[in-house]
Chain A
Amino acid sequence: MKSKKTDGLTVFLFLLPGLLLFVGILIAPLFVSAYYSFFQWDGLGEKIYVGWGNYKTLSLFKKPDAFAFGVPAMNAAVKHVFILAGLSLVLQLPLSLGLALLLGRGIRGERFFLSVFFLPVLISTTVIGRLWQKIFASEGLVNSILTGLGILKEPLNWLAESEGNLLLIAIFIPMLWQYVGYHMLLMYAGVKSVPKELREAAKIDGATNWQVDRYVVIPSMKQVLKVSVIFAVTGSLKSYDLVAVMAPQGIKTQAAAVPSTVLHDFLSNRMKYGIGSAIAMVLIVLCFFFALLINLLFRDRDAKG
């Protein structure tokens, strides 16, 4: 019907805007980053080939307290994002699943609750960071409530850089607060996609609501759960916004550095483009590794089930 030649041209022209963006901004830079990561370069002068030197400088395999250039070793930053990812998996996702299952039972005000729970997702992360900075301030909401209830005698200094673990918790809580609604929404969609008949059939067979959730609903949500787990883990690895807002001093010090803030520091303050690229590469490898691993884990279970 249509000649092959004109089709070739049409396909190319239709793909062109997308290809330019995709290749120019995603694909080419990925390879250029990999290339830069083997050079020492300040962005202006000569590039000096250093082999794996930049990766060694990041002291990925030294103990977490080692410093390079006065910034935390990359493994401290990696340790922090692993902690965030772990906390997400253990606290955030179960909470989201619980809320989604409760909502999915069909309760009065279902739409209202769903909409309220999703609201924080849409609020700018920097706004949330600033708000929670105030909430965790020494005279803030958390300290006032905890001292008021007698749980704490003295207000805690949550956001001080000397208190690494407290700072990390203070950053994790708004992260949880913001994204529970996101995972809840995805899971709620999964819950709602379970056919009503299936639910009712199980009920007629004498299953309690809890049993219906456990044996009918959750097993049918594998795809959604996989997406949530991947988002939670890679999202934590890539985290930047809340850390940059809540702990600006943490960028330069040990306290709450994450790979992206370390990358920002090397790029903007130290003009070390090679090391910056090496950090980006480490981050990419980690993200792909975990995305593949999670895919594999879920596939394995599919085969067994």
Chain B
Amino acid sequence: MAKSKNLSDYQVSQSNGKVANVIIWILLSIWTLVNLYPLYWMVLFSLKNDTEVYTNKFGLPKEWAWENYKTAMRVGNIGRNYLNSIIVAFATILITLVAASMATYALTRIRWRGAGLMHKIFLLGITIPVQSSIVPIFVVLNKLKLRESYFAMILPYSAFALAMGILICAGFMTEIPKELDEAAYIDGCGRARVFFKVIVPLMKPAVATVSIYTFMQCWNELIFATIFIDKSYLFTIPVGIQQLVGTFTTSWGSVGAALTIATVPTVIAYILLSRRIQESFIAGAIKG
């Protein structure tokens, strides 16, 4: 293996890489297949009836069982899960954006003693595992009778997204020239006006990056959502999916339909925004 690899690479420098390119292309195509086939197979079995799921594993369905999708929407209540996920995600993004951009402004654009240290402390939040908060928050939510509410998810999600939000905002905010602030002060603006009129309008790329990152975090979050939430009308998509097999014990077709319904919007969003989404993940990780 190693030998043939060296050989093909040798040819790269010799013959401008035609043979090597073909080999690379084959390797990448194999991994593409490994990535896509399970998803294709999922859509496939979502359209098969209960007997075909077992008898016709690889082929196209002989009878297209579209009713699986109806069952998934009705019994699995995926629509409700969707609504919950959207409410939780948007509230989390809003809180994270407000808290992170304001904190970043105070940390990077106002000079005060301890700003640097405070900044570092906030960024430590990235390394704190969510598990450390579960028991105390569980206790407090129980006491406040807040366990069966969106807040039980929104507040923890925002808190755990905050550090990354500050990290990303700081990256963008330090790029904005300080002279802009100075000019605004000379015109008689206060700190708050400078923040809202000068800084916020220039932070659009950061807003997009933080939103995408936060969205992905809370859209897929499971551990808080399962431990804190018991009432099925508050289940988000991940919890709804986790509960599925109990609901339809043997109907894999309907499970497949539910999985497909949960996945298709993500895939569409990704096709539309792929570069943006990838950049958000890179920004989140590399600067950390």
Name A's B-contacting residues (CB within 8 A). 1-2, 7-8, 10-11, 14-19, 21-22, 24-26, 28-30, 32-33, 36, 43, 99, 102-103, 105, 107-109, 113-127, 129-135, 139, 141, 144, 177, 181-182, 185-186, 189-190, 203, 206-210, 223-224, 227, 231, 234, 237-238, 240-241, 244-245, 259-260, 263-264, 267-268, 273, 276-277, 279-281, 283-284, 287-288, 291
Q: How far is the CB of B44 from chain A (nearest CB, A)?
A: 11
Residues on B with beta carbons closer than 8 Å to the beta carbon of A24: 159
Partner of B241, one of A43, A124, A231: A124
Give per-residue flags for B16-58: 1 if the beta carbon is below 8 A from chain A beta carbons, else 0: 0100110011011001101110110110010000000010011
With A22-B125, A186-B285 given, name 13 new contacts (CB 8 A): A11-B106, A11-B115, A17-B95, A26-B125, A26-B132, A115-B274, A118-B274, A119-B270, A129-B242, A223-B286, A277-B136, A284-B132, A288-B127
Q: How far is the CB of A117 from chain B (nearest CB, A)?
A: 6
Q: Please, could you name 18 A-B residue pairs with CB atoms under 8 Å apart, sorted by A? A: A15-B103, A18-B99, A18-B122, A109-B28, A115-B270, A116-B36, A121-B281, A124-B241, A131-B259, A209-B20, A240-B222, A240-B223, A245-B241, A245-B242, A260-B131, A267-B227, A273-B139, A283-B132
B222 and A30 form a contact (CB under 8 A): no
A15 and B102 form a contact (CB under 8 A): yes
B134 and A15 form a contact (CB under 8 A): no
Residue of chain A at shortest CB distance from B130? A238
Partner of B28, one of A103, A118, A227: A103
Residues on B with beta carbons closer than 8 Å to the beta carbon of A264: 223, 226-227
State A245–B281 Cα separation when bound (angstroms): 25
A123 and B266 form a contact (CB under 8 A): yes
Residues on A with beta carbons closer than 8 Å to the beta carbon of B112: 7-8, 11
Give per-residue flags for B92-105: 1 if the beta carbon is below 8 A from chain A beta carbons, else 0: 00010011101101
Q: How far is the CB of A77 from chain B (nearest CB, A)?
A: 12
B286 and A189 form a contact (CB under 8 A): yes
A177 and B166 form a contact (CB under 8 A): no
Among B54, B58, B135, residue most surrounded by chain A Cβ atoms (within 10 Å): B135
Residue of chain B at shortest CB distance from A268? B227
Partner of A284, one of B105, B128, B278: B128
B244 touches A (CB below 8 Å) = yes
State A29–B133 Cα separation when bound (angstroms): 5
9 tightest A-B CB contacts, nearest first: A25-B159, A18-B103, A14-B106, A29-B136, A17-B99, A32-B136, A29-B133, A21-B159, A126-B238
Partner of B32, one of A14, A117, A144, A234: A117
Known contacts A11-B106, A185-B281, A244-B242; is-contact A127 B263 (Cβ 8 Å) = yes
Q: How far is the CB of A185 from chain B (nearest CB, A)?
A: 6
Task: State which residues 257-288 of B face A: CB under 8 Å.
Answer: 259, 262-263, 266-267, 270, 274, 277-278, 281-282, 285-286, 288
Residue of chain B at shortest CB distance from A263? B131
A122 and B270 form a contact (CB under 8 A): yes
Residues on A with beta carbons closer than 8 Å to the beta carbon of B238: 124-127, 241
Q: How far is the CB of B267 from chain A (nearest CB, A)?
A: 7
State A167–B12 Cα separation when bound (angstroms): 43
Known contacts A1-B185, A127-B263, A135-B38; is-contact A206 B195 (Cβ 8 Å) = no
Q: How far is the CB of B98 from chain A (nearest CB, A)?
A: 6
Task: State which residues 222-271 of B face A: CB under 8 Å.
Answer: 222-223, 226-227, 237-239, 241-242, 244-245, 252, 255-256, 259, 262-263, 266-267, 270
